[in-house]
Amino acid sequence: MQKTDPAIFKAYDIRGIYPEQINEDTVYRTAQAYAKFVSPKVVALGRDVRLSGEKLWEAAKNGLVDHGVDVIDVGVISTDMLYFAVANYRYDGGITISASHNPKEYNGMKLVRKDAIPISGDSGIKDIKDMVLAEYAYKSDIKGNVETKDILQDYLDKCLSVIDVKSIQNFKVVANAMFGPAVQNVMKMNLPIELIPLNEVPDGNFPKGQPDPLQEQNREETIELIKEKQADFGVAWDADADRFFLFDQNGRFIPGYYITAFLGEYFVTKNSGGKVIFDARLTWANQEKIRDAGGVPIVNKAGHSFFKERMRQEDALFAGEMSGHFYFKDFFYADNGLIPFLILLQIFSETGKSVAEIFEPYFENYPISGELNSKLSDPSQVKFILDRIEAQYAGSRIDKIDGLSIEFADWRANIRGSNTEPVIRLNVEARSPKVLREKTGEILTIIKG
């Protein structure tokens, strides 16, 4: 029995390098601890396309079955398909073997309980970690059963239920799956669009590097193909297909911040007084668009588990993070990668405007720095840096919902430590590009000083 690396237990999930940090033994014991913690009778178990996924799936299955838990094998899935399976079929919980958008040498586990409610650092991962480190083990007298279930069509039907397919125009769309399942799933929807697929065949080798469209270098071939094919717009997903990304007809990347504000306004216009949740990193566009449309804007700490919890508390219509996670009341208060694509298809069809026309006012009125990451030699430096910035801008409006946010009349910034790596993240927004440049440089100097 190998010793478990406690560093794999993160704020939102379990993640590490295979097999040095996370291996069959660790996954078996984590599944055992999960069974003890949740006390489920039936659990959905899936995996993403990673090469180590099959072995780790088998280890998780054995850990559950040995504990007397029945397992529903839902196969190779997107992460949002796990949420769907657990909530739609009313299982007692679910696990997917996935490391999301991390490089190919990583793998991990995302854990949910009944109703697809996530188990995070402050709602169970620490308890499960303690049991794993204490080498908890249990073998039931009666083993659990394993049943295979194909959930794809039910999942696609659920996603399609949010739009009127007949209203969709014949757009030409470049779609980059980053070697995950997203584009294959879109193809099975038979939408009346001309789809130009890219990296659509699932491949856990991730032959073009880390499968994360948020990294600028990973957008280049999508942008080139949009221009080459003169597409109406482009879309992309990460490898586990729970995050969605958009490009206009010129190949310009549309930040998740702007999509959140745009969709927030759309939902509130249809449901006056509705609540929309967004993260503290960038807020002005969300606050102004949602409030002007008659809705209630709510700022929340970043992270999918924090968002889902707040969605339920507030009975919110919609939520979005600038990272590309979008959450829907009509999808069990969970995030989904296909629904934003479908809703935008319908909106673009109905407005008759190009994607560039729709989003140009956001670029003009809400200029942003983009997320700027500075590596630290030691994560303990974060507090020291935040204290220095707070002292420097003592005259500002300050909040600490997530890291440190400072706000003046013509600019605001959010500075926070990463939950997963020794990095400090900076986001700045301003009323003019000139102020944006000045203040971004000012704060970076303090961070690097």
Q: Enumerate residue ranges in the chain where pLDDT < 50.
A: none
Structure tokens at 219: 């957008």
Could you read off the pLDDT of 206-239 as tens digits, one per residue?
999 999 999 999 999 999 999 999 999 999 999 9
Determine whether domain 6-150 maps to CATH 3.90.25.10. no
Question: What is the structure's pLDDT at 418?
Answer: 86
- CA dist 225 and 196 (Å) reads 9
Asked if 324 and 238 touch (Cβ cutoff 8 Å), the reply is: yes
Which positions are catalytic?
100
Q: What is the pLDDT of residue 378?
A: 86
- How long is the chain? 449
What own/partner pairs with CB < 8 Å and gap ≥ 24 does 377-382 have?
377/422, 378/422, 379/417, 379/422, 381/424, 382/417, 382/424
pTM value is 0.97
Kindly report the backbone phi and psi dihedral angles of residue 108, in degrees, each rounded to the nearest multiple of 5, phi listed first.
-175, -165
Q: Residue 168: its pLDDT value, please? A: 97
User: Per DSSP, what are the bridge partners of residue 93?
Assistant: 43, 113
Q: Mean pLDDT, the chain, as a whole number?
A: 97
Chain position carrying tokens 């990463």: 418
* Domain at 151-366: CATH code: 3.40.120.10
pLDDT of residue 1: 62
Domain boundaries, the chain: 6-150, 151-366, 372-448
How crowded is residue 407: how many other Cβ atoms within 10 Å of its Cβ?
17
Q: Domain 372-448, what architecture?
A: 2-Layer Sandwich (3.30)
Within 10 A of 347 (CB to CB), how many other CB atoms are there? 16
Domains 6-150 and 151-366 in one fold: yes
